[in-house]
Amino acid sequence: MTETISTEGLRVCAAEEVPLDEGRTVTVAGRPLAVFRTSDGFFALDNTCTHMGGPLADGIVADETVACPLHDRRFELATGRAVGHDCGGVAPYLVEEREGDVFVTVPLLEGARDEDAQLATGSAAAEVVPAGGESPAGSGG
């Protein structure tokens, strides 16, 4: 089932490797990502909390968000948007489950300059961020 290496659909684990309503860290080419499993399926975010760098994969998952284990800063699982705080969001990644395996799309660009890199991430994020969504900051309980 191996295809050639591309920026799309890297297999990161078998579905059962992530317990329901928990997250696990996976390091993809040196970059730590957090993969979460909920009853709505799998989600992937940058693992590093924008507040003090806590590992989001170790957070509590509820209400389509994860709360960082260090200081409870929350982020939306689907979009990485900050919920109820000012520390900024984290990058989301496309993730899908196929036949019991979990695949994450990590945008890659060989020899990319930093500026290009930022833009490319922006467009990757745009695929999963509903356009024009109002930030839910402050509406959390």
Partner 1 sequence: MEVTLERQTEEILGEDGHVRGLRFADGEELAADLVAVSIGIRPEKDLAERAGIDCNRGILVDDRLRTSEPDVLALGECAEHRGVVYGIVAPIYEHAKVAAATLLDHDGDEYRGSLPWAKLKVAEVDLVSIGDVEGDGGATSALAERREYRKIAMRDGRMVGAILLGDTRGTEALLEAVRSGERVEDPLARLAEAAEAGPEELPAEAQVCDCNGVCKGDIVRAVTEDGMSSKQEVMSVTRAGTGCGSCKPLVADLVAIAGGSDEPAYLCPCRKQTREHVAEQIMENGYEAVSEVSEACGTGRECGLCKPALAYLVSQINDNRHREERSARHINDRVHANIQNDGTFSVVPRMRGGVTNSDQLRRIADAADKYGVRMIKVTGGQRIDLLGVKKDDLPAIWEDIGMPSGHAYGKAVRQVKSCVGTDFCRFGLGDAIQLGVDLEYEWEGLHTPAKVKSGVSGCPRNCAEATVKDIGIVAIEGGWQVYAGGAAGGSVRKGDVIATVETTEEAKRVATAFLQYYREHASFKERTYDFVPRIGLEELRAQVLDEAEQAALLQRFRLAKTAAAARDPWLERRAPYHQRQFTDLDSVVLPQAGANGANGHGPDPADAAGDEADSPGEARELELVGPPPEGER
- The site for partner 1 (CB under 8 A) is made up of 1-5, 10-13, 16-22, 24-32, 35, 46-48, 52-55, 57-63, 65, 67, 69-70, 72, 74, 84-86, 91, 101, 106-112, 116-118, 120-121, 124, 137-141
CB closer to partner 1 out of 3 and 130: 3
CB of 130 to partner 1, least distance (A): 18
CB of 18 to partner 1, least distance (A): 7
Token duo for residue 10:
């890297």
Q: Which residues pair with 36 in a beta bridge?
A: 23, 43
Which residues lie closer than 8 Å to 62 by C-beta, 6 or more apart? 21
Place of tokens 């979990």: 102
CB of 129 to partner 1, least distance (A): 14
Coil, strand or helix: which one is 69?
coil
Coil, strand or helix: which one is 57?
helix
